[in-house]
């Protein structure tokens, strides 16, 4: 299931487009698997400067900790 991120910025859309165009797909399943791998990398390995050089997964965990402490 692909769900970690929502495409909202032109930069993100452009990254998706470049990723998809790097490969030649012969089936929908190949395309789906490739997008799934990209999103996994984007959310769990790529450091984002806007998140203080953390991955979205790390930042989400950090924010959950703050929310749990506040509750």
What's the CA gap between 40 and 33, in Å, rounded?
A: 10
Is residue 15 assigned to a domain? yes
Expressed as residue numbers, the domain containing 15 is 10-70
Q: What is the pLDDT of residues 18-60, one digit of tens each?
A: 888 898 999 999 999 998 998 898 889 999 898 999 998 999 8
45 contacts 55 by C-beta, under 8 angstroms: yes
**What domain count does the chain have?**
1
pTM (predicted TM-score): 0.66
Is residue 2 assigned to a domain? no
Query: Over 70: is that where the pLDDT of 6 sits?
Result: no
Phi then psi dihedrals of residue 68, to 5 deg: -65, -40
């Amino acid at each position: 299931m692909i769900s970690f991120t929502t495409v909202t910025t032109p930069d993100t859309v452009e990254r998706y487009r470049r990723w998809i165009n790097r490969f030649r797909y012969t089936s929908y399943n190949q395309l789906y698997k490739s997008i799934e791998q990209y999103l996994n990398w984007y959310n769990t390995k790529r450091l984002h400067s806007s998140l203080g050089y953390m991955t979205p997964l790390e930042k989400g965990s950090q924010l959950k900790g703050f929310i749990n402490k506040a509750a």
